[in-house]
Chain A
C-alpha cells in the first residue's frame, strides 16, 4: 500500500518537474544574451562569436561618441534611397547623381570616420548617418528580445547558445544555394509563393532526405506556379550537395529547413 503511494507521489513529482522545465509559460529565468547589436555588426565563425561581442560593444560606444561630435557640428541628413519608378532616360541620369551628391554633408569627413570605426568589417561599410538609427533599432530589438526571453523555457535556455548557425555559417550556406537555384522567371511576383523544404543531412553536408513541407499544395489544381517553384528548389538542393555546413555541431544542423522565396528577385 505504502509502496504504491510512494511510487505514485514520485511519478507525480517527476511529471511536475518535467512540466516546469518544458512548458514555456512557466519559465521565468531570463537569458543573458549578448546585445543584439553585436550580431548585427560581426560576421565571424562560432569560435569567435561570443568573444567578439564585448569588443563590438566597445566599438559601438566609440562610434556613438564620434557620432555625437558630428551631430554637434552639423547634423547629418538622412538620405532616403531613391528608387525611381521608371528607368531613367539617358539625359536624366547625371541630374540624379548630382541631386544625391548635393544632399550629402561633409562626405569626406564621414569617409575617414568610417575607416576608423570598422576595423574588422571592410566589406559592409558603416553608414555613419544610420548609426543613430541603428542604435535605436538595437534598443528596440533588445527590448523585444527581453520580452521574448521572459517566455523562454530553461531547456531552451540551455540550448540557445549552441543552436542556430552563426552569420558566417548561414551566409556560406546561402551563398552556395544562391548559385545553384535557377529561379523560374515566368513566375508571378505578386503571388504568395514560399516553398519550405525540410532537409535531413549527413555530417559531410550531403542530403539524406528532402521533404516539401506543404507537399499537398503541389498537386492541387491551380497551383502550377507553386509546383514549378518547389521543383526548382529541390533541384537547387540536389545540385548544391554536399551543402556547405559547419564542420562541427552536427546535432545542431542535421535537420535544416530552407525557405525559398523568389518574390524579391521576380519583382526586380
Chain B
C-alpha cells in the first residue's frame, strides 16, 4: 500500500517535462560545396597500356581533371587542391580515412579506379559523404578507351545529380557556327564540340552561309538554315551518320527552324507575300501549316517542353515583344511589358522560364522571365549578345557575344559564353575559332 502511494507521489512530482525546442533554419550559405576529386587510381600495367593506346601518361588523373573542371564551371562546387590530399588515391578508393578529408574541409569525396580489360576501359567511381562517413554512390562504366572524356562527363553528371537533386548537363554537346576571317568576309562553318569545348568537329566546309543550328531534343539530329544559290534552305543533319537532307526551300526571309519536343515537326518563320508569319512542317509528310496570321512580323518561335504552347516575338504591339500562344496558333497573349525590345524567346526544358534577348538603350541583355511574363530577371548585359540556348536541365544558358570592331573593322570577335540562373556564374566557353548561334544538345546518355 505504502509502496504504491510512494510510487504515485514520485510519479507526480517527476512528471515535470520540457517541450521539444524547435529552431527554424531558413538561411544557409551559398558558397560552393568543397569537393575533393581524388585522382582515379590505376596500376602500372594499365598506365603503360593506356599510354601506348592514347598517348596519355596517367589517364586516371586526366579523368579526374575533367570531373574537376566540370564541377568548377557549375559554380556550385569548389574542387579542392590536390596538393592538400593526405591519402593516396588507391587506398582512398577502397577505404577513405574521413578524418583526413574533413581536415582539408572536404564535404564530398570522389574516388575511382581505372582498368583496361580486353582493350576495354573500365572506370569505377565512388562518391563519399565525408561528414557522414558513408558512401553515397558507386558506379562502373565500360567503354572504348578513346571515350575516356565522356566517362569523366558521365561521372560528373551522376555526382551532380546525387548532390544537387537535378540532372546534370555534362555529357552533352554544343553545335554552333564557327566563324573565321574579317567581319566583311566571314567564313561560317557548322561545328560541334563537347560542352567543355573539347573534341571540336566541323560539319560543313564553309562554302555556304550557315545559320541557326538547333538540336532535336530527342536525338542527335540537327536542323539548320543554309543559303543555297542565295535561297534559304532548311536542312536536317544526323550527327552520328553525317547524313544530311534538305527539308525544303522556303521563300523570302526564313528564320530559325526549331524542333518540336517530340522531334516530329519543325517550327520556323518565313516571309510569304512580304509578311513574316510562323509555320510548322511535319517531318514525315512535309506538310506546312501556318500558325500565325497577322500583318506584323512574327519570328523566333520556340515550343514549350510539353508541346502545348509556343513562344515567339512579334512587333504587333508596335515594338518587338514576346508572346505566348497555343501550339495551334490560338489564344495569343503578350507576356513582356518592360522597356526596350524583346526577342529570341526560348522555353526552358523545365518549362518554368523563358529566356530572351533584350535591347534597351543600345545595350543587349540576356534574361529570363516566367511563362506568364512575371519575374523578369536580366542575367547579363553587354554591347552585343543574343541567341540564348538552355542546358538540358534548364539551369545554364549559352549564348554568343560580339565585341565592337574599330574604325578599320578590326578587333571584332564573337565568342560563346555561358551563364547560370543566378546571374553570377558567367564563363567564356572555349572554342577553336570565333563562334555564334550555339545550341545545346540533350544528354547523350541517360
The contact string, 1 if C-beta is below 8 Å from chain B, for chain A 208-235, is 0000000000000000110111011111
Q: Are A258 and B25 in contact (CB under 8 A)?
A: yes
Chain A residues near B186: list those with CB within 8 A. Answer: none
Segment 148-168 of A: residues with Cβ below 8 Å from B: 155-156, 158-159, 163-165
Please list the residues of chain B having a beta carbon within 8 angstroms of any beta carbon in chain A.
1, 4-5, 8, 11-12, 15-33, 76, 107, 129, 131-132, 136, 160-166, 338-340, 360-361, 367, 369, 374-378, 381, 393, 395, 422
- In the bound assembly, the distance between CA atoms of A193 and B432 in angstroms comes to 43
The contact string, 1 if C-beta is below 8 Å from chain B, for chain A 249-265, is 00111011111111111
Chain A residues near B393: list those with CB within 8 A. Answer: 186
Q: Are B165 and A187 in contact (CB under 8 A)?
A: yes
Known: A3-B1, A165-B21, A182-B29. A235 touches B129 (CB 8 A): yes
8 Å CB contact of A165 from B5, B23, B27, B131: B23
Residue of B nearest to A186 (CB): B164
Closest 8 CB pairs of A and B: A186-B164, A181-B28, A86-B376, A228-B165, A186-B166, A183-B28, A225-B165, A238-B131
Known: A159-B16, A253-B21. A239 touches B131 (CB 8 A): yes
Segment 86-100 of A: residues with Cβ below 8 Å from B: 86-87, 89-92
Residue of A nearest to B395 (CB): A186
Q: How far is the CB of A134 from chain B (nearest CB, A)?
A: 21
8 contacts across the A-B interface (CB closer than 8 A)? A156-B19, A183-B29, A185-B30, A186-B395, A228-B162, A235-B129, A239-B107, A264-B26
Range of interface residues on A (Cβ < 8 Å): 35 or more
Known: A225-B165, A239-B131. A164 touches B29 (CB 8 A): no
Q: Are A185 and B29 in contact (CB under 8 A)?
A: no
Q: Are B26 and A261 in contact (CB under 8 A)?
A: yes
Residue of A nearest to B130 (CB): A235
Chain B residues near A107: list those with CB within 8 A. Answer: none
Q: Are B27 and A265 in contact (CB under 8 A)?
A: yes
- In the bound assembly, the distance between CA atoms of A161 and B18 in angstroms comes to 11
Chain A residues near B16: list those with CB within 8 A. Answer: 155, 158-159
Known: A14-B8, A159-B16. A174 touches B376 (CB 8 A): no
- In the bound assembly, the distance between CA atoms of A85 and B370 in angstroms comes to 11
Q: Are B4 and A7 in contact (CB under 8 A)?
A: yes
Q: Are B132 and A235 in contact (CB under 8 A)?
A: yes
Interface membership of A179, Cβ < 8 A:
yes
Q: How far is the CB of B418 from chain A (nearest CB, A)?
A: 16
A-B contact count (CB 8 A): 166
- In the bound assembly, the distance between CA atoms of A186 and B162 in angstroms comes to 11
Interface membership of A170, Cβ < 8 A:
yes
- In the bound assembly, the distance between CA atoms of A10 and B2 in angstroms comes to 11
* Extra pairs beyond A231-B136, A238-B131 (5, CB < 8 Å): A86-B377, A86-B378, A180-B29, A182-B30, A184-B164
Interface membership of A178, Cβ < 8 A:
yes
Chain A residues near B376: list those with CB within 8 A. Answer: 85-87
Chain B residues near A234: list those with CB within 8 A. Answer: 131-132
Chain B residues near A184: list those with CB within 8 A. Answer: 76, 163-165
Interface membership of A11, Cβ < 8 A:
yes
Chain A residues near B17: list those with CB within 8 A. Answer: 155, 159
Interface membership of A74, Cβ < 8 A:
no
Residue of B nearest to A84 (CB): B376
Q: Are B25 and A255 in contact (CB under 8 A)?
A: no
Interface membership of A138, Cβ < 8 A:
no
- In the bound assembly, the distance between CA atoms of A90 and B340 in angstroms comes to 13
Chain B residues near A257: list those with CB within 8 A. Answer: 20-23
Interface membership of A1, Cβ < 8 A:
no
Q: Are A251 and B18 in contact (CB under 8 A)?
A: yes
Q: How far is the CB of A174 from chain B (nearest CB, A)?
A: 6
Chain A residues near B12: list those with CB within 8 A. Answer: 14, 17-18, 21
Interface membership of A70, Cβ < 8 A:
no
- In the bound assembly, the distance between CA atoms of A151 and B176 in angstroms comes to 69
Tell which of B16, B24, B33 has the most Cβ of chain A within 10 Å.
Answer: B24
Interface membership of A173, Cβ < 8 A:
yes
- In the bound assembly, the distance between CA atoms of A137 and B129 in angstroms comes to 46
- In the bound assembly, the distance between CA atoms of A7 and B160 in angstroms comes to 68
- In the bound assembly, the distance between CA atoms of A17 and B5 in angstroms comes to 13
Residue of B nearest to A260 (CB): B25
- In the bound assembly, the distance between CA atoms of A187 and B8 in angstroms comes to 52
Q: How far is the CB of A168 from chain B (nearest CB, A)?
A: 13
Residue of A nearest to B160 (CB): A186
- In the bound assembly, the distance between CA atoms of A170 and B21 in angstroms comes to 10
Residue of B nearest to A249 (CB): B18
Q: Are A163 and B21 in contact (CB under 8 A)?
A: yes
- In the bound assembly, the distance between CA atoms of A228 and B66 in angstroms comes to 24
- In the bound assembly, the distance between CA atoms of A18 and B15 in angstroms comes to 10
8 Å CB contact of B23 from A156, A159, A252, A258: A258
- In the bound assembly, the distance between CA atoms of A141 and B8 in angstroms comes to 39
